[in-house]
Copies of this chain bind each other. A is one copy, B any other.
Amino acid sequence: MMSPPKGSTATVRQSPEHQSVSFDLKQYLSQKQAEVEAALDRSLPLAEPKTIYESMRYSLLAGGKRLRPILCLATCELLGGTPEMAIPTACALEMVHTMSLIHDDLPAMDNDDFRRGKPTNHKVYGDDIAILAGDGLLAYAFEYIVENTQNVAPQHLLKVIAQLGRAVGAEGLVGGQVVDLESEGKSDVSIETLNFIHTHKTSALLEVSVVSGAILAGADAAVQASLLRYAQNIGLAFQIIDDILDITATSEELGKSAGKDLTAQKATYPSIWGLEESRRQAQVLVENAKAEVASFGDRAIPLMAIADFITARSY
């Protein structure tokens, strides 16, 4: 599913006693993605009642870039943490993200029939099971973090849980979706409202993906704050690029219906700024994100490459 930009090998010049190193983002992402896929598969074995487990697994294992889990793993590693510390939270982030996709796709919400090239959850299992599959994934995310995380102090784990809860609820995803629904069909949506929607609907979960990785690794407040700013910048860049792709890409390339924003008369960055200015703004955000982690040196190369990947991505 994940297609890094062509020529995604980053070369970073270092202090005189080191040689410059080259980094193969494509290989890095493939490897992390495979680790996440295997961990997700293990996280939710089929059980009784079968219908609900099948429905949860159908959406959780439907592919996708796994950007949120990878951000969590990469940040934890950047700070010297181990995969054992971060993998359960990485899986939980994808469970929460999947819940939001299942519920957003419902006829009562965005009414989408396809997601990642496959029929949406409710088209296969019905609206009732789709609602319950989302609820089940959301509740399981918190349980899974507690039951499976290793070598992390309990008070750090509690902080991860609190931040994940906030990122999903009315102060995060849910709040963003509400304002998004309220803005549909309105021709006078302001840039402030559009920013509110996306900082809540998209950025909040990307932010906790990065910050949870930092908390799990035991980062201090200053490091957490710097990584939060990295995440805020890539979060907004990510959404701007999503809006651009909705206009420029085909449904086949997206794996979901293209042009939906136009049809739904949704306010988007290109509709306010135009395509060129939107691309420029996304590029500025990515540069700001990279600047936030530059002081970590070589270890930040994966996070810097992921930031670049966001503006360069093609489906």
Complex Cα spacing A178 to B51, Å: 8
Q: Which of A34-42, A130-138, A263-271 contacts B (4 or more CB under 8 A)?
A: A130-138
Q: Is the CB of A131 within 8 A of B106?
A: yes
A127 touches B (CB below 8 Å)? yes
Nearest chain B CB to A4's CB is how many angstroms away?
32
Which of B131, B138, B153, B181 contacts A139, CB < 8 Å? Answer: B138
What's the nearest-Cβ distance from chain B to residue A96, in Å?
8
A153–B52 CA distance with the chains assembled, in angstroms: 34
Are B131 and A109 touching (Cβ within 8 A)? yes
Distance in Å from the Cβ of A216 to the closest Cβ of chain B?
A: 14
* A168: interface (CB < 8 Å): yes
- Copy count, this protein chain: 2
Q: Is A147 an interface residue (CB 8 A)?
A: yes
Rounded to whole angstroms, the CA-CA distance of A213 and B48 in the bound complex is 29
The answer, yes or no, to whether A165 is at the interface (CB within 8 Å) is yes
Per-residue 0/1 for A44-75: is the Cβ within 8 Å of any B Cβ (1 yes, 0 no)? 00011101110010000000000000000000
Interface residues of A in 118-167 (CB under 8 A from B): 126-129, 131-132, 134-136, 138-144, 146-147, 153-155, 157-159, 161-162, 164-166
Q: CB distance B138 to A181 under 8 Å?
A: no
Q: A174 is contacted by which of B135, B143, B154 (Cβ under 8 Å)?
A: B135
Contact assessment for A109 and B136 in the assembled complex, using a CB-CB cutoff below 8 Å: no
A139→B168 contact, CB < 8 A: yes
CB of A143 within 8 A of CB of B161, answer: yes
| 3 closest cross-chain pairs (CB), A and B | A143-B165, A154-B154, A108-B127
29 A–B contacts, CB within 8 A, in A order = A49-B175, A99-B135, A103-B132, A103-B135, A106-B131, A108-B126, A108-B128, A109-B128, A132-B177, A132-B178, A135-B138, A135-B169, A135-B174, A136-B168, A136-B170, A136-B175, A139-B174, A140-B170, A142-B162, A146-B159, A146-B165, A147-B162, A153-B154, A154-B155, A154-B157, A154-B158, A157-B158, A158-B158, A161-B161
